[in-house]
Amino acid sequence: MIKIKNTDILKYWSFVLFAMVVFVSCEEPFTPDTSLYEPQIVVEGYVETGIGSLPAYVFLTKSIPFIASIDGQDFGDLFVKNAEVSVFDGDQTVQFTALCLQDLPDDIKKKAGELLGINTDSLQSNICVYIDLADQLIRAEGRRYDLTVKVDDQILTATTTLPSGVDLYDFKWVEPAGLAIDTMAELRVMVEDPAEEANFYRYLTATERDRQFIPPPFGSVIDDAIFNGKAFEIPLQRAQRRNGDFDPDTFGLYVRGDSAYIKWCTIDKAHFDFWNTRDYAAANSGSFSSYTRVTSNIQGGLGIWGGYTVRVYRLYCPPK
């Protein structure tokens, strides 16, 4: 048996404390040098088809360093206002029109905000968007859409598709698991997934009180990796804004006596990969989390050009 003397223990801890003091005293704050940072163009654009779908539109902004801080004015300056944006739908090339919300009359600005899901009443920055104003694109399932963006001497390209839509064929309201809340219910929907190909889905929700569709904060996309060719049932959470009030007892539940609006979208794989990595990064951010690179389908820049084949449902949640 090996015996350890008390003096040996004291020497050991003295050495550890000395090393800690030396390490801390030598530590210096690290501030990354961002003077050589070159902004990239960030694209966020969508083309939709189906009842309740929106005209195609594209936001263009400039990226900033991760440690940068911005105010309302800086945020408005990030929008790219001098670009040429066009989309080829297989038959024609359509030039998009640049619109800046602050340049519009109040009534039109409000309607534009509702269309894009922006609250213009609290808007402090001049948000600009490129939009198919005359709705000239042929928006139909099975088509491909090639985006081209020209900013000064830069050219960005991307391609997306509008897959064949997959419907929700049934739904039901169930009691929240483990909770005795008579005024709330969980929504479950049924999907019959086609077997011929891989399918990818994304959903957004709205309520009678708030008609703006928003995605759930912790995951908005689903694939058929384990459901391919089968009928399956999944819960759809009521979406809540990330900066809103959060109640863990009612999170994701719907109010009885209210109507739920579901925007159920079929998307292609590149579009799925973007939201899958973006949702994961947003849900797992923090000091001790690992870095997740959000997948982009933009050649020459960052972001997403995605297609949505849309189905919109109004589902009434009856009182208990």
Residues 150 and 173 in one domain: no
Residues 184 and 97 in one domain: no
Domain that holds residue 228: 168-287+310-316
Residues 110 and 212 in one domain: no
Residues 157 and 87 in one domain: yes
Residue 78: predicted pLDDT: 85
Residues listed for the chain = 320
Residues 48 and 131 in one domain: yes
Task: End-to-end CA distance of the chain: give it in Å, rounded.
Answer: 72
Residue spans of the chain under pLDDT 50:
1-4, 9-10, 13, 15-16, 18-19, 21-27, 30
Q: Is 293 within a domain?
A: no
Out of 108, 133, 161, pick the residue that ends a domain. 161
Residue 49: predicted pLDDT: 97
pLDDT digits (tens, 9 = 90+) for 218-240: 889 999 999 999 999 999 999 88
Q: Rounded distance, CA 164 to CA 268, Å?
A: 10
Residues 187 and 121 in one domain: no
Q: Is 270 within a domain?
A: yes
Residue 70: predicted pLDDT: 63
pLDDT digits (tens, 9 = 90+) for 129-184: 999 989 999 999 999 999 999 999 999 999 999 999 999 999 999 998 777 788 89
Q: Is 297 within a domain?
A: no
Q: Are 157 and 147 in contact, with CB atoms under 8 Å apart?
A: yes
Q: Are 242 and 315 in contact, with CB atoms under 8 Å apart?
A: no
Q: Rounded distance, CA 49 to CA 140, Å?
A: 6
How many distinct structural domains can be found in the chain?
A: 2
Out of 115, 145, 161, pick the residue that ends a domain. 161
Q: Rounded distance, CA 184 to CA 177, Å?
A: 11
Q: Is 134 within a domain?
A: yes
Residue 230: predicted pLDDT: 93
Q: Is 246 within a domain?
A: yes
Residue 185: predicted pLDDT: 93
Residues 45 and 157 in one domain: yes
Q: Rounded distance, CA 180 to CA 17, Å?
A: 54
Residues 156 and 201 in one domain: no
Q: Give strand pairing partners of 231.
A: 192
Residues 69 and 101 in one domain: yes
Out of 135, 161, 187, pick the residue that ends a domain. 161
Nearest to 40 by CA among 149, 162, 175: 149
What dihedral do alpha carbons 188, 192, 198, 203 form, nearest 10°? Answer: -30
